[in-house]
Structure 1
Amino acid sequence: MTLLELVIWLTIGFTGYQFWRIRAISESTYQYLTQYCNTHQLQLLSVSRAKTRFSFKYGKPDWHSVFNFEFSSNGEDRYSGQVELIGVRIVRTDVPPHRV
């Protein structure tokens, strides 16, 4: 095995690991939002990733992600909120004023 082959295999492995890391962040965000909506008696309608970038916050390199989500409080209206994460740590959850 040459050095070039080793670098290629390490790059493939690192890319695969980062893909699964981003998937884990997405799944944990969905679970968090499901729990959040159930706690506040809201109906979760959709979740989408707005942006993801590499960050060095909190002393280690990790993904800084922002997710948009839509929810309903009475089944008729639709509101948009936002969740910000670094890794799987929730940094901020913004929910607009909504009808109860």
Structure 2
Amino acid sequence: MENIYYLLIVCLIFWYFIYLRKISEYARSHINTYCNSENLQFISLARKSSRMNFDKKHGPHWVSIFEFEFSGDGESSYLGEMQLRGYKVDGVNMPPYKIN
């Protein structure tokens, strides 16, 4: 009987890694779209944290924070931050940056 529990734990860990990879792909897609709409050059993306959260409005959900590097003038780079709630963008924070 304990083999079933081991199998369940392995399957949950496998699902978690696949889920995090899918969230990262959604984040890259959202950041690319955002940078194109703001005429920015997208450089890189990194996940800062992912955690399970619960509130009365949304119920249980995953909150992931990503840092992305971008450039407004093609010479300097800046770090912005994007928060995802599940697969949807919850907010984008960017510092002031130079433009052409």
Q: TM-score of the superposition, structure 1-length normalised?
A: 0.90
Measured after TM superposition, the shift of residue 55 of structure 1 is 1.5
Equivalent in the alignment of 2:47? 49
1:9-52 deviations in whole A, cap 9, x for unaligned?
Answer: 11111111111111100010001001110111100011111111
Query: Which amino acid in 1 is paired with 2:23?
Result: I
Measured after TM superposition, the shift of residue 88 of structure 1 is 1.0
Give the 5 Å matches for 1:1-100. Answer: 3-57=1-55, 58-60=58-60, 62-100=61-99
Identical positions, percent = 32
1:40-96 deviations in whole A, cap 9, x for unaligned?
Answer: 110001111111112224112x32111111100110111110001121121110111
For structure 2, which runs of at least 5 residues remain unmatched after alignment? none
Alignment: residue pair count:
97
Q: Equivalents in 1 of 2:33, 2:59: separation in Å? A: 28
Q: State the secondary structure of the residue aligned to 2:81.
A: strand
Q: Which has the higher helix share?
A: 1
Runs of 4+ deviating beyond 2 Å: none
Q: TM-score of the superposition, structure 2-length normalised?
A: 0.90
